[in-house]
Amino acid sequence: MSQPKIPLTADTIDAAWLNQAFDGSVATITNVKAERLGEGVGLLGEVTRLHLNYAANSSGPQPASMIAKCQAAAPGNVFMSQAMGFYERESAFYKQFSQSINLRVPFCYYTDVDPAGAPYIVLLEEITNPRMVDQVAGANFDDSAAILDQAVKLHSHFWDNELLWSLSWLPPMNNPLYRAAREMAEPKLESFIAKWSPHVAADTMQWMRELTPKYPDMVDWWVEQGNATFSHTDFRADNFLFGGSAGEGVVTVLDFQLSARHVGMWDVANFLGQSVTIENRREWEKTLVRRYYDGLITAGVSNYSWDRCWRDYRYCLLHQAWSQVAVSDIDPGNDRGRALLHAMITRVFAAAHDLQSGDLLSEF
């Protein structure tokens, strides 16, 4: 059976569309009701719950609901996702690893992406009744430790090995589109500095000015450092579910749109620099980064020293601060989205300042 036309929004998905997409892998659906999910969820795509009803005596799995991910509502967010290949990456990840990776991720019932990079659709298992961490409020210590344990699982599984290098759809950090982020950032830089200078340390804004023209050199430098792995690259609290139908104590990892071949420390810095309050990050970061490092060594990673690990953490914080400049025209969508962006920016700039991550600028 041919694949159905990819929907622009989940509320246009009906029973006929789903039955064509599933082609018998799920029981025959008779009715579907779409329910958009919470404020500030999915800056780069719309996230919708589909409530499903089935024909009597129909054979096959009958999940009561699924989660549908479609392209973003804001045209600018779609353009960026299309240009960067975000939707293609997530679709490819779920096709290949939905059932074979050593992380708990939602089962993927169906995925497709247009050859142009948008629109796209992913239909996922819904993890029901989970506990979630409010990223705006900030994660507590125990949840932070559990999330970073997932980073150990992911990174050690792919650490600079043949499996990692076989993933043709997973770009390196210095791929042409990421190198071109300098051109994306340059026209936004001064407006970003004007808007955010009242909220962050002055030295960090000077670092943004110095780093912008050198950005392509920096991503080349990162690749030359080696120790590449599968980086989730959006390792924020909003992308984790605790427990629920996945099982008590299980952490489910969501959202692989931004995944890349990069240093694993990106994910650790991404989480601690954006999902933990400034005060708690200052108190916990050394302990939690060490927990991550010890986990890697226990999992069999070698030729990676603690000094290199801590250096990578410091330098990733500066890189992530600069990344906020490049994507500063993303539409946050609503009040929760705006609060989330404010927390992410102020926290990561504070972390870069605290650890004097501007030292990275002397490396290339």
Judge if 254 and 308 occupy the same domain: yes
Query: What's the angle, vertex CA 248, arms to CA 244 and CA 253, rounded to 5?
Result: 65
Contact (Cβ atoms closer than 8 angstroms) between residue 272 and residue 289: yes
Determine contact, residues 264/139, Cβ cutoff 8 Å. no
Indicate if 105 and 136 belong to the same structural domain. no
Residues 109 and 155 in one domain: no
Domain that holds residue 147: 131-363
Token digits of residue 58: 């129909």
Say which CATH number the domain at 232 has: 3.90.1200
CA nearest 289: which of 261, 262, 319, 311? 311
CA 16 to chain centre: 32
**168 SS3 class:** coil
Spans in the chain with pLDDT lower than 70: 1, 38-43
pTM of the entire structure? 0.92
Does 1 map to a domain? Answer: no
CATH number where 89 lies: 3.30.200.20
CA angle 102/104/110 to nearest 5° reads: 105
Helix (H) or strand (E) run with residue 190 in it:
helix 189-196
Full strand arrangement of the beta sheet holding 45-54? 29-36, 45-54, 65-71, 120-125, 108-113
* Spatial contact of 242 and 143, defined as CB atoms under 8 Å apart: yes
Last-in-domain residue among 63, 92, 125:
125
Element (H, E) at 113: strand 108-113
Q: What is the pLDDT of residue 38?
A: 62
Q: Does residue 236 sit within a domain?
A: yes
Task: Assess whether 114 and 216 both reside in one domain.
Answer: no
Please check whether residue 147 is in contact with residue 260, taking contact to mean a CB–CB distance below 8 angstroms: no
Which one of 92, 107, 125 terminates a domain? 125
Residue 37 confidence (pLDDT): 84
Compute how many other C-beta atoms are within 10 angstroms of the C-beta atom of residue 327: 17
> Is 78 inside a domain boundary?
yes
Planar angle of CA 320, 174, 262, nearest 5 degrees = 60
Q: Is residue 258 part of a domain?
A: yes
Q: Does residue 3 fall inside a structural domain?
A: no
Q: What's residue 254's pLDDT?
A: 95
Are residues 167 and 121 both part of a single domain? no
Q: Are residues 205 and 226 in the same domain?
A: yes
What are the residues whose beta carbons fall under 8 Å from the beta carbon of 193, sequence distance 6 or more?
Answer: 205, 208, 209
Going by their DSSP bridges, the two strands 120-125 and 131-132 should be labelled as unpaired
Q: Which helix (H) or strand (E) holds 340?
A: helix 335-354
Instruction: Give the residue from 125, 155, 185 where a domain finishes.
Output: 125
Given a contact cutoff of 8 angstroms between Cβ atoms, the answer to whether 64 and 89 are in contact is no
Q: Quick one: 318 and 346 in the same domain?
A: yes
The pLDDT, as a whole number, for residue 40 is: 45
Q: Same domain, yes or no, for 51 and 149?
A: no
The number of folded domains in the chain is 2
Are 144 and 232 found together in one domain? Answer: yes
Same domain, 67 and 147: no
Q: Is residue 5 a part of any domain in this protein?
A: no
Contacts of 128 (CB under 8 A, 6+ apart): 65, 244, 245
